[in-house]
Structure 1
Amino acid sequence: MPPTVLKIVTACLFNDDGRLLVVRKRGTRFFMLPGGKIEPEETSLQALRRELHEELDLRMEESQLQSLGHFQARAANEPDHWVEADVFVGHLASDVKVQAEIEVLDWLELHARQLEHVAPLLREQVLPVLRERLTAITR
């Protein structure tokens, strides 16, 4: 039987110091990018804007978010599940507030070495792309 695939959308949100916002949901152990499941009637950006508002009290316009790509990985907190994610990038111009199912937030350095506490999607797929793009920009 094939694994269940969850369609999600997430955001790589950077602060002024170039660190990446990560969140951990209540009752879980992995930090991940903010975002969530896409409802059937929503576009990816609509779902992301809704999730950011629900989880972090953030209101971001679609123009503030650029696509990073579409990625797949093992789900962090659901055994025998995979996630298929549309990932966007943006810059945080305001403070964030933990709410809803989010227990804690943290800031991740892009070149951090200790990543065992980070969800597979972020660790295996998104971080390598972000690092590659950063290297290309700084050359």
Structure 2
Amino acid sequence: MTTIDKIAWLRIEDGRLLGARSRGKDVYYLPGGKREPGETDLETLAREIGEELTVDIEPGTAVHVGTFEARAHGRTGGTVVRMTCYTADYRGTPAPAGEIDELRWLTYADRDRVSPVNRLIFDHLHESGHLR
């Protein structure tokens, strides 16, 4: 089994979660990405969010929400995604950059438009009253 280790930013406002759609993809993902060798979770979070959304994460405000695992979207075999999720404050205005084509505020009604691991996160946020 192959595991893809990813770090994600959970930005929730008014019961909606910020989602990103990458160029050529048919589902929304949570902003974030894969760790570079030697990076900590928070270093990965800050780098990826800066690259994808042009904002600066404030690492001192980061709170671990949970770690979730599910099969990888669009991959064959036993590939699994492990998504470690954080909330954090930021400076700037989120805008799509790099491979990101679109940003969208998602609600629980959008659950069928996200990857399998994100469905677990949507369920968790909905059950805890954070996602409407």
TM-score range, shorter chain: 0.7 to 0.9
What secondary structure, in the 3-state scheme, does the structure 1 residue paired with 2:11 have?
strand
Please say if residues 9 and 36 of structure 1, whose CA atoms lie closer than 8 Å, have aligned partners that are also in contact: yes
Superimposed CA distance per residue, residues 101-131 of structure 1 (whole angstroms, 9 cap, x where no aligned partner): 001111012x32x4322111111x1112112
Q: Identify the residue that residue 81 of structure 2 maps to in structure 1.
A: 83
Give the alignment partner of residue 10 of structure 1, picking from 2, 8, 23: 8
Provide the rounded CA distance (Å) in 2 between the counterparts of 1:92 and 1:120.
27
Structure 2: stretches of 5+ with no match in the other structure: none
1:121 and 2:117 aligned: yes
Instruction: Note the alpha carbon deviations across 1:52-100, whole angstroms, 9 max, x for none.
Output: 0000001011122211111111112433321111111235664211000
Instruction: Give 5+ residue unaligned stretches, structure 1.
Output: none
Q: Is the 8 A contact 1:14 1:91 kept in 2?
A: no
- Tell me the secondary structure at the aligned position of residue 116 of structure 1: helix
1:51 to 39, 48, 51: 48
Give the letter for the 2:49 counterpart: L
SS of corresponding position for 1:50 = helix
CA RMSD of aligned residues (A): 1.8
Percent identical pairs in the alignment equals 33
- Distance in structure 2 (CA, Å) of the matches to 1:97 and 1:134: 27
Number of aligned residue pairs = 129
